[in-house]
Structure 1
Amino acid sequence: MDLIEIIVLALLQGLTEFLPISSSAHLILPSRMLGWEDQGLAFDVAVHVGTLAAVMLYFRRDIGVLTLNWFKTGFSSAPNTEAKLAWFVVVATIPAGLAGLLLDDWIEANLRSTAVIAATTIGFGLLLGFADKTQKDGITLTHMTLMMALVIGLAQALALIPGTSRSGITITAALLVGLHRVEAARFSFLLSIPLILAAGGLKTLELANSALPVDWISLALGAAISAISAWLCIYYFLAFINKIGMMPFVVYRLILGAVLLVFFI
């Protein structure tokens, strides 16, 4: 990989992991338009480590509070608010984890076409727009219920379908069940931590069993760029989302889906 490829792919990973715009749709474009080869397993691991570091750094206080309270009252008959939220993250992670174990190979073999990615980019983009337009004065995470968390978790399982966008579908579901925009985004980002950790762990295991040579400088650069871009993405997304809403991302998804349909199918 040359320097330009490293920068572009790491930026795409860092930004599209957390913006509701579909990472798989974006990763198609460089290879199709520029003829780039697959970046390889080692680079995938590196950029996953970068995005994981970014979200854990940004939410370090939340993670600390949730973890502490989960161990203090999470297993008692009266868990406090923070312990409940920690359980909600756990519960909402389970559907995607099970779906990944059961369906990942089938989805990889049958749903990774450009047509599917274009359709889901557009379709789930429209659903995000509907959820944002119909959401009024949403509730905070302190008033979230177990059923809400389960609905968001079931929606997250749909993100296995390329083009859906994990952050997009979880924010959509969170808005539909009544969460405020900022709270919906916060829960989506917290929910990303166990999944990115699991995905990165699986890729690391694959890499450990691979005999391919490793370009450590490229990996370190990719991890750093993805971490910085992901942290900035989270910061500015949470800072401005209540002012701009989701419609800019909906419009962007519609344009991106149309480009894929017109030029690559």
Structure 2
Amino acid sequence: MAGDLNLFQTIVIAIVEGLTEFLPVSSTGHMIIAQHVLGVESTEFVKAFTFIIQFGAILSVVCLYWKRFFRLNHKPAPEGASAVKRFIHKFDFYWKLLVAFIPAAVLGLLFSDAIDAMLESVTVVAVMLIVGGIFMLFCDRIFGTGREDTPMTEKRAFVIGLFQCISMIPGVSRSMATIVGGMAQKLTRKAAAEFSFFLAVPTMFAATVYKMAKLFMEGGTEIIANNLTPLIVGNIVAFIVALLAIKFFINFVTKYGFKAFGWYRIIVGAIILIMSFLGYNLELA
């Protein structure tokens, strides 16, 4: 396989992406370890690759929940509602995703340079993995199991969107932040996890498009052209693995909660800190 990644490296990184993108364990932290173990050089393409294969993971959510993504609200709008309110009522699902997406979109554009700077710090990733892991040990006790009849309102969607902004700190995990945000709004574990998956679609799609556009503007057309095979393979693998990961996560977290993921985050964070302390070069992709 021509390009910056061979077939084995492509498949392993895509598996890591598919497994960790929707679990509350930080895909960034796992990418650090995976790329170091594989001996992958952090080239411009490799940095873009880890964003672009998110597209495969996005498709897995749409595939699993296609009835939710392609269904309009056929319930009648409140009597006397304006044309705008009737429109919002009809596209209620998409409207709430947009409301939740806006905070991260705005802050992401305003502070993109600061976020990129934090991505250079492996210590930040490791520390946030551990801090987030400790929090997850107690989040069930803090927020409870939620209520089945809690509706997803605009306000709740916006608050979850604010929580998503916390995940701009590398190592926090977008999934963890949004699930915690949902639980803080009295959603059940399952409902919070599912909304986290739904919100990932516009968020990750925007990040992928932004990264692609930035790469092209910086003269990356040739880089993409020379690495089409890794991109295609990576997206296919990420799609398949993410399908399995989402199904597993929903079943597991509904039954057992988040403690296992908390301990796992602490272990991964500790491994990164130890490797860094021992002098390994853990440059982020």
| TM > 0.5 fold call | yes
**Structure-2 residue corresponding to 1:249:** 261
1-side partners of 2:135 and 2:58: how far apart? Answer: 27
**Structure-1 residue corresponding to 2:35:** 31
| Structure 1 gap ranges (5+) | none
- 2:9 corresponds to 1:5: yes
* Identity level (%): 35
Shift of 1:184: 0.5
**Structure-2 residue corresponding to 1:75:** 84
Kindly indicate which of the two structures has a greater share of residues assigned to helix. Answer: 1
Could you tell me the TM-score, scaled by structure 2's length?
Answer: 0.83
Match of 1:168, as an amino acid?
A: M
The answer to whether the Cα contact below 8 Å between 1:121 and 1:257 also exists between their aligned partners in 2 is yes
The answer to whether the Cα contact below 8 Å between 1:112 and 1:162 also exists between their aligned partners in 2 is no
The answer to whether the Cα contact below 8 Å between 2:118 and 2:169 also exists between their aligned partners in 1 is no
Shift of 1:263: 2.0
Q: SS of the counterpart of 2:167?
A: helix
| Structure 2 gap ranges (5+) | 78-82, 278-285
Q: Deviations over 1:56-99 (max 9, x none)?
A: 1111110112xx239x959326965x744432221111111111
Could you tell me the TM-score, scaled by structure 1's length?
Answer: 0.89
**Structure-2 residue corresponding to 1:114:** 122
Q: SS of the counterpart of 1:69?
A: coil
**Structure-2 residue corresponding to 1:215:** 227
- Equivalent positions of 1:158-237 (< 5 A) are 158-209=166-217, 210=220, 211-212=222-223, 213-237=225-249
The answer to whether the Cα contact below 8 Å between 1:92 and 1:154 also exists between their aligned partners in 2 is yes
The number of equivalent residue pairs is 262
Q: SS of the counterpart of 1:160?
A: coil
Shift of 1:142: 5.6
**Structure-2 residue corresponding to 1:15:** 19
2-side partners of 1:182 and 1:151: how far apart? Answer: 18
Larger radius of gyration: 2
2:53 corresponds to which of 47, 64, 69: 47
Q: Deviations over 1:139-185 (max 9, x none)?
A: 34762333322221111011111101000111112112211000010
Shift of 1:241: 1.8
Shift of 1:52: 1.5
Deviates more, 1:110-119 or 1:200-209: 200-209
Distance 1:11 1:251, change over 3 A: same
Q: SS of the counterpart of 2:70?
A: helix
